[in-house]
A and B are shown apart, each in its own frame.
Chain A
Amino acid sequence: MRRGSLERQLIICEKPSAAEKIAFALGGAGVRRSRRGKVPVYSFELGGKEVTVVPSIGHLYAAAQQGPGWSFPMFSLVWVPIHEVERRASGAKAWIRAISDLAAQADSFVSACDLDTEGSLIAYMILLHACHGADSRARRMRFSTLTRQDLQAAYAGMTSTLDYGVAEAGKARHELDWIFGVNISRALMDSYSRTGSSFEVLSAGRVQSPVLYALAKREAAIRLHLPDPFWLIGAEAEVGGGIVQARLKGGKVLSKREAEEIASRCSGAKAVVSGIAEREAVIPPPFPFDLGTLQSEASRIFGFHPSRTQKIAEKLYLEALISYPRTASQKIPPSINCVQILRGLAGSDYYREMAEEILASGRTRPREGKKSDPAHPAIHPTGALPRSIGRDEGKVYDLVVKRFLAAFGEAAVQAQATIELECGSGDVFVADGRATKEAGWTRYYKPYAFLKEAPLPKASAGDEAKVLRAWAEGRFTAPPPRFTASSAIRFMERNGLGTKSTRAEVLDTLYRRGYIDGWKISVTELGFGVTRILKKFFPDLVSIELTRRLEEEIEGIGAGERRATEVVLKGIDLAKGVCEKMIDKYEEVGDELSKVVRKLREERRTLGPCPECKSGTLIITHSRKSGKRFVGCNNYKNGCRVTMPLPQRGRITPSKSTCKVCGYPIIEVRGLGKRPWRLCVNNRCGSKGSWQRGSGKAGSEDGAE
């Protein structure tokens, strides 16, 4: 129904919550809510136009193969409604229909999706397909926060065309991911199934495979680490009327005998203060967060997985509490009114003192880092205060706010001192101390940053001292550290693998496929196997260089330096080369894969040594009669009769640890959508007393490590 002769404008948003914010920011009290099926629609009059705001639910279109069948190589792709290719996206059909109906009545179109590659692509595809080619008539709103002020400014200053370059870059990235992912994964699965083995989901990809390779290389270095011994000499000394902890100057001692000799001759020895050094250490404030640093900090402080932090940050953005989180920038441009944000934060009892102190100091610009992002500033609070907020959202919000406040702080200053004590034997010990002179920015970033304190007594050169006791501490060289999800994301960032929006997702895929495992990432046998095969037969696919080059070319599309078709065709050529090599070695690849999968399945059902017969292994097996799963010893033929029942629902994985009470293996049971629980497999375990008496599942917890 047309209201008079008003121009009708359709604004497309990325998510329902963003649509609501945008509608109310632009239409105020005049907004009328309605629904088209389950799709919320907001209408209002604005500047002589009848405006309708409609949300999407992320991507409504996806790359898919042209035509039916399951074959490869497959390079013919088309963009289709996402519900046609993804079972989980069945709801998209209603959204496409609603947007399409609204588009038929609209005269002009606006993209108000998130200002990044994915947002630009979402809007472009909807305008092109659901809005019947309206992309050429569409304009683009550019904003980094969902505050009323930013949204009104973005509407007033929208660009006259879509950001085609960014959308084309996003489209090319999706197409390249599809081409590599589909072809290599299908080739792996096909070569595997031709060996007569049952079905197993295997995958490889343009970003996924080099990341997995890097993780596997680190894993191999850890598993092949042989620690070499060395010794450190520690001492407790009396100096200047106080007791200090000191260490032998020069660091490691490479002989046990020598270390013991030094410790023995210095214990109780007289010493003299042979040197004092004092200096001031200036610790500058941190930069505001980019997404990678936020993920890494939330992982260090709260133990959040990077994808969880990203989801929480996106939720906070949709609630207009923080700016757009998918940013690589560590800069807050002058166009952002920091004073207003600080005034907003001063409205909260919790942040008032800090915000007012910064406002009073006149420091209105934060410290900035080197990294920048053309589309968005660093993550910062909007100044709006949450009315109610969930526990995890509250944690991330507080971290973002305090980091923002800390960036306005002054440098922290610590006085650092070193006292050198020389024994008669010529051995020199060093005691380090530090005391905070100015807490600076750390006051705003509490409890996430603190300065270590270790005061030293007053002493002067030539003062007498005594080494009360000295000891030799045996140490060993350490293996390289395991990757955590956040260090893996930093590694991907450093090497140009993936984008800020996709990195956490790539890691999730590796977890889902069973290639990697654990909070501190370890690579599974399947992960090792797939890596070995890819490295042996398709070294290009695990090469960081190839992926980085393609990423640079994709970014070139966004910057208008490359044509999307040219980059996609180049990608097709590379993928073709990989597939051709694979076809030549099909049988070999299949054989290797089937060995890997066999080993993996064996690994999945092996729980550990049998504590009863000591020579067999406890395995998960199935009853021939009832089909039920249970634990049994593979030494059955030699008389070991150990059997234990197992939960019949949920996925069971060996935990590689044993029960502290009875020594039997612990398993992890994972039900669909439920938290995993750990359970001792021994049904007669002492820890299960309370459970057997019917007091819930305490037994499983007590028995678990």
Chain B
Amino acid sequence: MGRSRDLDAPARGACAVCGAPSGGSLCARHSKAARKIEAHFATWRERAGVEWEEYLRLVSENDLSGAWIKETAEYLLRSGMRFGQISRP
């Protein structure tokens, strides 16, 4: 587990996913999506036996994933952010 990155921290500029103004590193939409991605990981690991990176890849490629979930999963993959680095407010 790496150091926790606070997505709702005070003004740091633009959302790393969509560029919208945000209080943290992600805007409200994408930080909600990031938290959801983290929350569902346990279910995926238990059911499909996948690890974090594989999980993010499968979620980002799934046609049923919502647009904000896909974008955030792609960003988490790109940025190499590990499970547990997305903190809750």
- Separation of A230 and B43 alpha carbons in the complex (Å): 10
- Chain B residues lying within 8 Å of A226, measured Cβ to Cβ, are 36-37, 40, 59, 65-66, 69
Contact pick for A255, options B33, B40, B47, B64, CB 8 Å: B47
State the interface size on chain B (CB cutoff 8 A).
22
Please count the residue pairs between chain A and chain B whose beta carbons lie under 8 angstroms apart in the complex: 54
A222 contacts B44, C-beta separation under 8 Å: no
Q: Which residue of A lies closest to B58 (CB)?
A: A229
Structural contact, B69 and A224, CB atoms closer than 8 A: yes
Residues of A within 8 A of B9 (CB): none
- Residues of chain B within 8 A of A256, CB atoms compared: 47-49
CB <8 Å contact, A225 and B65: yes
Q: Is the CB of A476 within 8 A of B62?
A: yes
CB contact under 8 A between A222 and B66, given known A228-B40, A595-B21, A599-B20: yes
Give CA–CA (A60, B66) in the complex, Å. 47
Report the separation of the CA atoms of residues A257 and B46 in the bound assembly, to the nearest whole angstrom: 10
Interface string of A476-520 (1 = CB under 8 A from B): 111100000000000000000000000000000000000000000
Nearest B residue (CB) for A224: B66
- Are A223 and B49 in contact, with the CB atoms below 8 A? no
Looking at A222, A227, A228, A599, which has the most chain B CB atoms within 10 Å of its CB? A227
Query: At the interface, yes or no: A254 with Cβ under 8 Å from chain B?
Result: yes
Contacts of B65 in A (CB 8 A): 225-227
Q: Return the chain B residue nearest A478 by Cβ.
A: B64
Residues A479 and B46 in contact, CB atoms below 8 Å apart = no
Q: Closest CB of chain A to B58's CB: distance in Å? A: 8
- Residues 209-266 (chain A) with a chain B CB within 8 angstroms: 220-230, 254-257
* A680-695 at interface with B (beta carbon < 8 Å): none
Minimal Cβ-Cβ distance residue in A for B40: A226
**Smallest CB-CB separation from A254: which chain B residue?**
B47
Q: Is the CB of B43 within 8 A of A228?
A: yes
Q: Which chain B residues in 53-81 approach chain A with CB under 8 Å?
A: 59, 62, 64-69
Contact between chains at B69 and A225 (CB < 8 Å): yes
Known: A254-B47, A255-B47. A224 touches B64 (CB 8 A): no
A257 surroundings in chain B (CB, below 8 A): 49
What is the chain A residue whose CB lies nearest that of B69? A226
Which one of B37, B46, B67 has the highest number of Cβ atoms from chain A below 10 Å of its Cβ? B67
Chain A residues, Cβ within 8 Å of B82 = none
A595-B21, A599-B20 known; A228 vs B47 contact (CB < 8 Å): yes
Interface core residue of B21, B40, B64, B69 (most chain A CB under 10 Å): B64
A229 & B68 in contact (Cβ 8 Å cutoff): no
A223, B66: Cβ atoms under 8 Å? yes
A476 touches B64 (CB 8 A): yes
A229 partner residues in chain B, CB cutoff 8 A: 44, 47-48
Expressed in whole angstroms, the minimum distance between the Cβ of B77 and any Cβ of chain A is: 15
CA distance A229 to B44 in the complex (A): 7
Q: Which residue of B lies closest to A476 (CB)?
A: B64
Q: Which residues of B contact A223 (CB under 8 A)?
A: 29, 66-69
Shortest distance between the CB of A532 and any CB in chain B (Å): 9
Distance of A225 Cα from B43 Cα, bound (Å): 14
Name the distance in Å between A631's Cβ and chain B's nearest Cβ.
21
Q: Give Cα A609 to B40, complex, Å.
A: 30
**Nearest-CB distance from B42 to chain A (Å)?**
11
Interchain CB contact under 8 A, A479 and B66: yes
Complex Cα–Cα for A595 and B33 (A)? 22
Closest chain-B Cβ to A516's Cβ sits at a distance in Å of 16
Q: CB distance A255 to B69 under 8 Å?
A: no
Assess whether B48 is in contact with A224, with CB atoms less than 8 Å apart.
Answer: no
- Report B5-34 CB contacts with A as 1/0, cut-off 8 Å: 000000000000000110000000100110
- How many Å from the CB of A528 to the closest CB on chain B? 9
Interface mask (A248-290 → B, CB under 8 Å = 1, otherwise 0): 0000001111000000000000000000000000000000000
Q: B68 to chain A: which residues have CB within 8 Å?
A: 223-224
Chain B positions within 8 Å of A228 at CB level: 40, 43-44, 47
Among candidates B21, B44, B64, residue contacting A225 with C-beta atoms closer than 8 Å: B64
CA gap between A223 and B49 in the complex, in Å: 25
B26 to chain A, nearest CB (A): 13
For chain A, residues 142 to 182, give those with C-beta under 8 angstroms from any C-beta of chain B.
none
Q: Smallest CB-CB separation from B18: which chain A residue?
A: A599
Q: Choose from A222, A224, A230 the contact partner of B33 (Cβ within 8 Å).
A: A224
Instruction: Please report which residues of chain A, range 116-157, place their CB below 8 angstroms from some CB of chain B when the two chains form the complex.
Output: none
B44 x A255 contact (CB < 8 A) = no
B48 lies within 8 A of A479 (CB): no
Q: Which residue of A lies closest to B32 (CB)?
A: A224
Q: With a CB–CB cut-off of 8 A, which chain B residues contact A255?
A: 46-47
Q: A254-B47, A257-B49 are in contact. Are A227 and B62 (CB under 8 A)?
A: yes
Cα distance, A377 to B54, chains bound together (Å): 60
In the complex, the chain B residue whose C-beta lies closest to that of A528 is B29
Most chain B CB within a 10 A radius of its CB, from A220, A223, A228, A255: A223
Q: Which of A584-614 contact B (CB under 8 A)?
A: 595, 599
In the bound assembly, the distance between CA atoms of A226 and B38 in angstroms comes to 11
Specify which of B32, B47, B65, B67 lies most central, judged by the most chain A CB atoms within 10 Å of its CB. B47
> Are A230's CB and B47's CB within 8 A?
yes
Give the chain B neighbours of A595 by CB distance below 8 A.
Answer: 21
6 contacts between A and B (CB under 8 A): A224-B33, A225-B66, A227-B64, A255-B47, A478-B64, A599-B20
Residues of B within 8 A of A (CB): 20-21, 29, 32-33, 36-37, 40, 43-44, 46-49, 59, 62, 64-69
| Leading 9 A-B pairs by shortest Cβ distance | A223-B66, A227-B64, A225-B66, A223-B68, A223-B67, A226-B40, A224-B66, A476-B64, A226-B69
Extra inter-chain contacts (12) besides given A223-B67, A226-B36, A478-B64, CB under 8 Å: A220-B29, A223-B68, A225-B66, A225-B69, A226-B37, A226-B40, A227-B64, A228-B40, A228-B47, A256-B47, A257-B49, A595-B21
